[in-house]
Structure 1
């Protein structure tokens, strides 16, 4: 290990890990049927699904909570040099998370700005502030944390070209899935 690899800063990966754990908590809480924190910040139709403990929605909440915990594990994985296989997986997943979260948060912010400036009209504007000032920036912060963690990790590796390709494939794959989800009305 070179001295350059030894200087890998841990804060970006730790920030991504903390972001993942903090963001997982509401998913698990809402999966129990509690709507603490959701009543005024999330779409009423989603709150109703959580309150009614609709089985498929509870499963979605648990799955998203587990994915967020997995994101925390990826963040931790990006805090120190790993073996070749684990490095590639961590950079692939971290690159995907960076783009997915940044794209998602950016959509919330752009839509909120468009609604606030009356360039876009929506039926209900009661949640616009929450998505513009809370959820959008929260997703952006997560995306930037993962981007910084991946960048920091790759920068200090001897195999940075290979890792950069893995990160790019993860990022492009996540972007393609997200764009397809938005285009089909799923995401």
Structure 2
């Protein structure tokens, strides 16, 4: 069998819904809407969006489209067929899941360190820090866990699990290595 059946479909559908819902703010802000931005994201990013800085607006559009692609990945983890599709879906599903959990975890840890007084930030950033700690961090972690659950569920439905499991491990480790490298370079 090369597709997920029955009640086991819910993680893929939930990951798809997560991606589509998460695309909405990016696309809204890319189109020029600013409601909610000033209180929930970094003031620096809000200024770039308000000033309609071209590279940043393009980044918002690309980010929105990538989130839509994530939604499509969630659906493909339920409905995709074929050996090559299985390898790609494991690579992408685990890669997306690990990257999202890692990214959200960083938001949570940093926010909790700020809340605990271990790390200090500018006072004007405290309200935004709360959003990153209690909304964005958990939202990223939730999405990551959904993609991991969908990829794992799909893997269990396969007859040839070995190659797909290797592809999934490469996706997860590759995403983590890329993110750590970006963080070390000061880009993340």
The two structures have a TM-score, normalised by structure 1, of 0.94
Residues 1:16 and 2:12 are matched in the alignment: no
Equivalent residue pairs, number: 186
**8 A Cα contact 1:105 1:138, kept in partner:** yes
The residue aligned with 2:64 is 65
How big is each residue's C-alpha offset from its partner over 1:12-64, in whole Å with a ceiling of 9 and x where there is no partner? 00010000000011111111121122110001110111111111001111111
The residue aligned with 2:160 is 159
The two structures have a TM-score, normalised by structure 2, of 0.94
How big is each residue's C-alpha offset from its partner over 1:100-124, in whole Å with a ceiling of 9 and x where there is no partner? 0000000000111111111111223
SS of the residue aligned with 1:127?
helix
Structure 1: distance between partners of 2:109 and 2:155: 30
Runs (4+) of structure 1 exceeding 4 A deviation are: 4-8
Structure 2: distance between partners of 1:56 and 1:81: 34
Structure 1: distance between partners of 2:185 and 2:10: 37
Structure 2: distance between partners of 1:42 and 1:146: 24
Q: How does 1:121-136 map to 2 (within 5 A)?
A: 121-123=120-122, 124-136=125-137
SS of the residue aligned with 1:119?
coil
The residue aligned with 1:118 is 117
How big is each residue's C-alpha offset from its partner over 1:128-169, in whole Å with a ceiling of 9 and x where there is no partner? 110110000000000000010001000111111111111110
Structure 2: distance between partners of 1:133 and 1:81: 34
- Long gaps (5+) in structure 2: none
The structure with higher relative contact order (CA 8 Å, sep 6+) is: 2
1:8 CA displacement: 6.8
Structure 1: distance between partners of 2:53 and 2:80: 43
**8 A Cα contact 2:97 2:146, kept in partner:** yes
Structure 2: distance between partners of 1:129 and 1:142: 19
**8 A Cα contact 1:102 1:142, kept in partner:** yes
Over the aligned positions, Cα root-mean-square deviation in angstroms equals 1.6
1:5 CA displacement: 6.2
The residue aligned with 2:187 is 186
